[in-house]
Amino acid sequence: MDYRPFLAQTHERLKPQAYLEIGVATGNTLALSKCRSVAIDPTYHITAQLDGDIALFRTSSDEYFSRPDPLAPTGGRPFEFAFIDGLHIFEYALRDFINAERCSSAKGMIIFDDMLPRNVDEAARDRHTSAWTGDVYQIIDVFAKYRPDLAVIPIGTTPTGMLLITGLDPDSTVLADNYAQILLEFRHSDPQPVPERIIDRLTVPAPEKVLQSSIFELLAAADPNASASELRPVITAQVAGDLGPAFAAA
């Protein structure tokens, strides 16, 4: 399954009230949103037909989230779904997640694009291939070490996979507090040390299997005012039951 039909079904089933997209490009994925949307890209060139309540920002995500109130365009409503498809460099993607989670609801979901390089060349920080994931795959192991409280689900979409994260905690500062140490541990010069388990995808759920999960309906029905501590046990149980304990929060 291509990543766009997966995202379309995610929008339909989550029914988010506020959506964030980092990395807009031509607007093909932004066009899937049916709610108030904040879209960030310093070089977007929209060709898709957009018909929605959208605030477009031609700026970097770092600049946007440094503003006094990143949620001003939503009237203060936290994001319930975010899609991160910005610059495919590890430290930028990590900052995008930190900022997106901080501005998200505890019932929210964040999806990264291009998380499963098919070879070492696609994972290079210095791009030299047509299809390119960069080194953002490292975030999977960052979450395993520093944020075991998150439910982290790789998805075998074509062409280069995605990563779904839920069980969010907007109050967590773990990644921000350890940002410098994380870069020392996980940022590498090319060629990238991509684990075989990433390239072969043998332990990566197929998108069809992920879509069979009821986690989307659970999040859609959750109280938007519920805290991370209230929602996490329910989310963990649902993910573990549907997809296996390896993908649920610890």
As a whole number, the mean pLDDT across the chain is 97
Structural domain for 132, as ranges: 3-247
Is residue 60 helix, strand or coil?
coil
Instruction: Give me the mean pLDDT over the 20-44 stretch.
Output: 98
Degrees to nearest 5, angle at CA 2 with 103 and 119: 90
What CATH number is attached to the domain comprising 179?
A: 3.40.50.150
Give the chain's domain count: 1
- Token pair recorded at residue 245: 């304990």
Give the pLDDT confidence of 64-110 residue by residue, as tens digits.
999 999 999 999 999 999 999 999 999 999 999 999 999 999 999 99
| pLDDT of 250 above 90 | no
Give the pLDDT confidence of 162-174 residue by residue, as tens digits.
999 999 999 999 9
- Token pair recorded at residue 168: 């969010």
Percentage of the chain lying above the pLDDT 90 cut: 99
- Token pair recorded at residue 231: 């929602």
Instruction: Give me the mean pLDDT over the 189-218 stretch.
Output: 97
DSSP 177-215: HTHHHHHHHH--PSSP---HHHHH-TTSPPHHHHHTSSH
The secondary structure of residue 58, as a DSSP letter, is -
Instruction: Give me the mean pLDDT over the 144-157 stretch.
Output: 98
Q: Which is nearest to 194 in space by CA: 131, 137, 110?
A: 137
Instruction: Give me the mean pLDDT over the 35-53 stretch.
Output: 97
Q: For residue 140, what pLDDT is reported?
A: 98
